[in-house]
């Protein structure tokens, strides 16, 4: 939003001034007193400067870009993805058919009931990714897989219908209650997904086992056992294969470095080795091994803590595949009397491990997102602080020019004696204090290491050196110098020119060449300061100008004369200062404040070395 720039502030137009009560009397008084005409002229001429300054402020604020608010999506909505019709349905049907035939190869209790059923997870992931319109692929794949295995066309139709309705119900529950495709972004979503998988997978065995029993292809006495096997196979298929397909179908935004790539490689290698020890019979302790399946858990948990949900889902799949293979070959702690009982025991363990690992992984991902958001908010706050500091620095720079004649005019008006009673009533009373100073902060290096008597001596010597400088004498003679002790040094506040503190620093630096035991560092900045009275009724100064000057000083070492960018910009207007100014770049100091510093040195004064604090901070940022 841009603010229109006025050509003249309404408050400063002559007509408006004439309407102010008492202004006519004041103009009359000024007209009768020629000695005040110059003050009124200064006051009037300053109006243009103030008007230009206000217009500049409005222009800057109008173009200022506020930091973007860091927001987060609080809800998820699954939208149907467009896909290219028949080709995608055909490919998905083939994938479902192949996965179904592989799953039915592990069926032992009944030819149509397998405790390991990957198609359930593949179908659920497909509907979440492609939308509900992909259901024909599930129906076709399920029908072909069953009609070529056992039963007849009618039972295969019923089983395919149950598989399709199961996938549709699961997708609807996940979209409605668990976050859709973002289901694995939060721990709550993982638990809701597990609940949705457990509920929706009741549909398929209800259709399938009932139709097989009615058609005479299943014994009603085994109805419960077949239904349990069917349900657990479908539920575990959802828990293992849905996150694998769903997460790996989306491109990862993570950028791997060599260390992380080596770590994830070592992690998966360790997972394969431990899985081989537990389920492969590589180091058989007994015929069936002791129940040591828990040793694979920490590796999966490690994956959840160190990496994303994608790697966690991949680790669970690898572990599950090796565990199924080993259990079928009689290895591992889950081997029972029959193959079906062994796989059921294994699938219970796999389901619990999958839910636990995915929930932990989602929790860590959520924590990383929160940390990133906090970091973004920190950057936004730091940007706002830098904008504020820049505004205050510019304010002190731009405001000095229009305020100087205003203050001079007010001082002149207040010093003139009133000629009449009306003049005395209209005598201006101003509390305007333009505390915009050029600050020179001086600090001893290693002051705390000195003995008390040595501290007193060096402070006395410093006072003599500072008082002996020409800039100090000139500013003090004009009454435009404020001296503030700081314990291990002092702060000098000049009010006339940015050259004053810099010239004073140069004179002090030259005088120190004969005092090698006095190690000083100096910092120069300009900005607004506020005059306050402390608990001892002594005058002190606070404000952003003093704070930033202290930060500039803190960055230096012995012999350094550091300048803020604002002061340097003022000095750069004078050609004779340009050879002395050396850019140090930006540095982050306390409270996230970033300063652009310059080093002042030449011909034996100052310190040409880069300050140690800047070196260390830059090294940390690069590392």
- Answer yes or no: are the C-beta atoms of 228 and 187 closer than 8 Å: no
Instruction: Note the pLDDT of residue 431.
Output: 42
Question: d(Cα 151, Cα 157) in Å, to the nearest integer?
Answer: 10
R_g over Cα of the chain: 40
- The pLDDT tens digits for 287-314 are 454 556 677 778 888 888 888 899 999 9
Instruction: Note the pLDDT of residue 570.
Output: 84
Same domain, 195 and 215: yes
Same domain, 569 and 450: yes
Same domain, 301 and 388: yes
Token pair 């590392």 in the structure block, residue: 623
Question: d(Cα 585, Cα 555) in Å, to the nearest integer?
Answer: 12
Instruction: Note the pLDDT of residue 546.
Output: 85
More confident of the two residues 244 and 381 = 244
Same domain, 505 and 530: yes
Q: Classify 5 in phi/psi space as left (phi over 0), alpha (psi -120 to 50) or beta.
A: beta
Instruction: Note the pLDDT of residue 291.
Output: 58
More confident of the two residues 23 and 571 = 571
The predicted model gives 594-615 an average pLDDT of 86
Same domain, 354 and 242: no
Instruction: Note the pLDDT of residue 538.
Output: 73
The predicted model gives 59-88 an average pLDDT of 48
For residue 109, give every residue at least 6 positions away whose Cβ sits within 8 Å of its Cβ, in sequence order, or none. Answer: 222, 225, 226, 229, 338, 340
499 is written with which tokens?
A: 């050259």
Instruction: Note the pLDDT of residue 542.
Output: 79
Question: d(Cα 166, Cα 301) in Å, to the nearest integer?
Answer: 30
**Pick from 592, 597, 591: which is nearest to 614 by CA?**
597
Instruction: Note the pLDDT of residue 29.
Output: 37
For residue 59, give every residue at least 6 positions away whose Cβ sits within 8 Å of its Cβ, in sequence order, or none. Answer: 3, 5
The predicted model gives 409-416 an average pLDDT of 56
Instruction: Note the pLDDT of residue 250.
Output: 83
Q: Which helix (H) or strand (E) holds 598?
A: strand 594-600
In this structure, the number of other CB atoms found within 10 A of the CB of residue 81 comes to: 13
- Answer yes or no: are the C-beta atoms of 85 and 392 closer than 8 Å: no
More confident of the two residues 8 and 410 = 410
Where is average pLDDT lowest: 119-133, 389-403, 481-495? Answer: 389-403
285 is written with which tokens?
A: 């302790």
**Is residue 175 very low, low, confident or very high in pLDDT (cuts 50, 70, 90)?**
very high
Is 57 a residue whose pLDDT tops 90? no
- Answer yes or no: are the C-beta atoms of 373 and 381 closer than 8 Å: no
pLDDT above 70 covers a percentage of the chain that reads 75
Residue 17 located in a structural domain: no
- The pLDDT tens digits for 360-369 are 999 998 998 8
Q: For the sheet containing 436-444, what is the strand order?
A: 481-485, 489-494, 436-444, 520-528, 561-564, 594-600, 581-588
The predicted model gives 465-494 an average pLDDT of 89
Say how far residue 145 (Cα) sits from the centre of its chain.
Answer: 50
Q: Which one of 381, 407, 432 terminates a domain?
A: 432
**Is residue 479 very low, low, confident or very high in pLDDT (cuts 50, 70, 90)?**
confident
Same domain, 512 and 579: yes
**Is residue 54 very low, low, confident or very high in pLDDT (cuts 50, 70, 90)?**
low
Is 410 a residue whose pLDDT tops 60? no
Same domain, 469 and 604: yes
Residue 8 located in a structural domain: no
Is 450 a residue whose pLDDT tops 90? no
Residue 421 located in a structural domain: no
Residue 595 located in a structural domain: yes
Is 283 a residue whose pLDDT tops 70? no
The predicted model gives 14-33 an average pLDDT of 40
Instruction: Note the pLDDT of residue 586.
Output: 86
**Is residue 422 very low, low, confident or very high in pLDDT (cuts 50, 70, 90)?**
low
Length of the chain: 623
Signed CA dihedral, 379, 382, 384, 386: sign only: negative
Instruction: Note the pLDDT of residue 390.
Output: 63
Question: d(Cα 551, Cα 393) in Å, to the nearest integer?
Answer: 15
Degrees, nearest 5: CA angle 441-540-454: 55
Q: Which backbone phi and psi does 110 adopt, to 5 degrees?
A: -150, 150
Report the DSSP beta bridge partners of residue 596.
586
Residue 529 located in a structural domain: yes
- Answer yes or no: are the C-beta atoms of 227 and 110 closer than 8 Å: no
Instruction: Note the pLDDT of residue 350.
Output: 93
- Answer yes or no: are the C-beta atoms of 276 and 233 closer than 8 Å: no
The predicted model gives 390-401 an average pLDDT of 59
**Is residue 458 very low, low, confident or very high in pLDDT (cuts 50, 70, 90)?**
confident
Residue 67 located in a structural domain: no
Instruction: Note the pLDDT of residue 33.
Output: 43
Is 84 a residue whose pLDDT tops 80? no
Instruction: Note the pLDDT of residue 502.
Output: 93
Q: Which domain holds residue 212?
A: 79-250
Residue 296 located in a structural domain: yes
**Is residue 399 very low, low, confident or very high in pLDDT (cuts 50, 70, 90)?**
low
Same domain, 440 and 579: yes
Q: Classify 200 in phi/psi space as left (phi over 0), alpha (psi -120 to 50) or beta.
A: alpha
Where is average pLDDT lowest: 43-47, 84-88, 128-132, 606-610? Answer: 43-47
**Is residue 251 very low, low, confident or very high in pLDDT (cuts 50, 70, 90)?**
confident
Instruction: Note the pLDDT of residue 393.
Output: 59
What DSSP character marks residue 249?
Answer: T
Is 254 a residue whose pLDDT tops 80? no
Same domain, 544 and 616: yes
Q: Which of 157-166, 266-275, 450-459 has the highest mean pLDDT?
A: 157-166
Helix residue spans in 131-218 (DSSP H): 135-147, 153-173, 187-200, 203-215
The predicted model gives 355-382 an average pLDDT of 89
Is 488 a residue whose pLDDT tops 70? yes
**Domain containing 559 — which CATH number?**
3.30.70.1230
Question: d(Cα 176, Cα 192) in Å, to the nearest integer?
Answer: 10
How many CA atoms within 13 Å lie on the side-chain side of 393? 21
Residue 580 located in a structural domain: yes
Q: Which one of 205, 223, 250 terminates a domain?
A: 250
Is 63 a residue whose pLDDT tops 80? no
The predicted model gives 502-525 an average pLDDT of 88
- Assign 323 to helix, strand or coil: helix
Helix residue spans in 216-338 (DSSP H): 223-248, 258-279, 297-306, 309-328
Whole-Å CA distances, 484 to 217, 364, 422, 438: 100, 52, 42, 13
**Domain containing 171 — which CATH number?**
1.10.1760
More confident of the two residues 602 and 292 = 602
**Is residue 600 very low, low, confident or very high in pLDDT (cuts 50, 70, 90)?**
very high
The predicted model gives 93-115 an average pLDDT of 94
Question: d(Cα 286, Cα 410) in Å, to the nearest integer?
Answer: 102
Same domain, 83 and 178: yes
The predicted model gives 491-513 an average pLDDT of 90
Per-position DSSP letters for 83-120, written without gaps between them: --SHHHHHHHHHHHHHHHHHHHTT--SBTTB-S--HHH
418 is written with which tokens?
A: 């009133």
Strands (DSSP E) found in 394-529: 436-444, 481-485, 489-494, 520-528
What DSSP character marks residue 602?
Answer: B
More confident of the two residues 229 and 495 = 229
What DSSP character marks residue 174?
Answer: I
* pTM (2 d.p.): 0.55
Q: What average pLDDT is seen over the chain?
A: 79
Is 233 a residue whose pLDDT tops 90? yes
Is 35 a residue whose pLDDT tops 60? no
Same domain, 268 and 396: yes
Question: d(Cα 167, Cα 119) in Å, to the nearest integer?
Answer: 10
Number of domains in the chain: 3
Same domain, 458 and 543: yes
Q: Which one of 432, 464, 499 terminates a domain?
A: 432
């Amino acid at each position: 939003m841009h603010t229109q720039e006025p050509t003249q502030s309404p408050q400063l137009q002559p007509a408006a001034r004439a309407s102010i009560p008492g202004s006519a009397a004041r103009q009359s008084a000024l007209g009768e007193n020629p000695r005040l005409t110059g003050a009124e002229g200064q006051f009037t001429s300053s109006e243009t400067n103030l008007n230009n300054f206000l217009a500049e402020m409005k222009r800057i604020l109008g173009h200022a870009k506020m930091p973007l608010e860091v927001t987060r999506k609080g809800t998820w909505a699954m939208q149907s993805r467009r896909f290219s019709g028949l080709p995608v349905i055909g490919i998905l049907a083939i994938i479902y058919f192949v996965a179904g035939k592989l799953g039915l190869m592990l069926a032992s209790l009944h030819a149509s009931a397998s405790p390991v059923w990957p198609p359930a997870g593949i179908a659920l992931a497909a509907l979440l990714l492609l939308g509900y319109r992909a259901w024909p692929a599930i129906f076709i794949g399920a029908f072909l897989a069953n009609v070529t295995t056992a039963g007849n066309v009618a039972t295969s139709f019923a089983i395919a219908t149950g598989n399709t309705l199961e996938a549709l119900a699961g997708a609807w529950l996940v979209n409605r209650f668990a976050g859709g495709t973002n289901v694995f972004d939060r721990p709550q979503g993982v638990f809701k997904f597990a609940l949705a998988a457990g509920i929706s997978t009741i549909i398929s065995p209800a259709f399938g086992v009932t139709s097989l029993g009615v058609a005479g292809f299943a014994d009603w006495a085994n109805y419960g056992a077949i239904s349990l096997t069917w349900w657990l196979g479908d539920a575990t298929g959802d828990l293992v294969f849905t996150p694998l397909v769903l997460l790996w179908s989306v491109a990862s935004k993570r950028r791997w470095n060599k260390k992380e790539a080596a770590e994830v490689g070592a992690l998966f290698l360790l997972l394969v080795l431990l899985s081989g020890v537990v389920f492969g019979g590589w180091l058989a302790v007994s015929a069936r091994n002791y129940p040591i399946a828990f040793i694979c858990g920490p590796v999966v948990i490690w994956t959840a803590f160190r990496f994303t949900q994608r790697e966690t889902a991949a680790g669970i799949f690898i572990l599950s595949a090796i565990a199924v293979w080993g259990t079928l070959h009689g290895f591992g702690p889950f081997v029972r009397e029959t193959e079906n009982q062994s796989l059921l025991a294994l699938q219970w363990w796999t389901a619990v491990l999958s839910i636990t690992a995915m929930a932990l992984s989602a929790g860590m991902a959520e924590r990383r997102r929160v940390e990133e958001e906090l970091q973004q908010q920190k950057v936004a706050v730091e940007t706002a602080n830098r904008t504020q500091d820049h505004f205050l620095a510019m304010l002190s720079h731009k405001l000095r020019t229009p305020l100087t004649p205003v203050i001079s005019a007010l001082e002149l008006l207040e010093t003139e004696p009133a000629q009449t009673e009306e003049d005395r009533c209209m005598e201006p009373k101003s509390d305007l204090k333009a505390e915009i100073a050029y600050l020179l902060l001086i600090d001893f290096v290693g002051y705390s290491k000195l003995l008390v008597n040595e501290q007193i001596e060096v402070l006395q010597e410093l006072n003599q050196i500072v008082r002996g400088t020409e800039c100090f004498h000139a500013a003090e003679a004009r009454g435009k110098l404020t001296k503030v002790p700081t314990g291990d040094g002092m702060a000098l506040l000049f009010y006339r020119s940015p050259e004053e503190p810099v010239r004073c620093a140069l004179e002090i630096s030259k005088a120190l060449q004969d005092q090698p035991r006095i190690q000083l560092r100096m910092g120069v900045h300009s900005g607004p300061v506020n005059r306050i009275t402390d608990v001892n009724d002594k005058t002190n100064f606070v404000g952003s100008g003093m704070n930033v000057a202290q930060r500039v000083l803190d960055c230096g070492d012995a012999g350094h004369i550091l300048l803020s960018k604002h002061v340097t910009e003022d000095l750069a207007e004078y050609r004779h200062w340009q050879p002395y100014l050396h850019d140090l770049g930006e540095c982050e100091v306390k409270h996230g404040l970033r300063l652009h510093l310059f080093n002042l040195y030449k011909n034996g004064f100052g310190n040409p070395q880069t300050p140690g604090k800047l070196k260390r901070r830059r090294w940390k940022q690069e590392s």
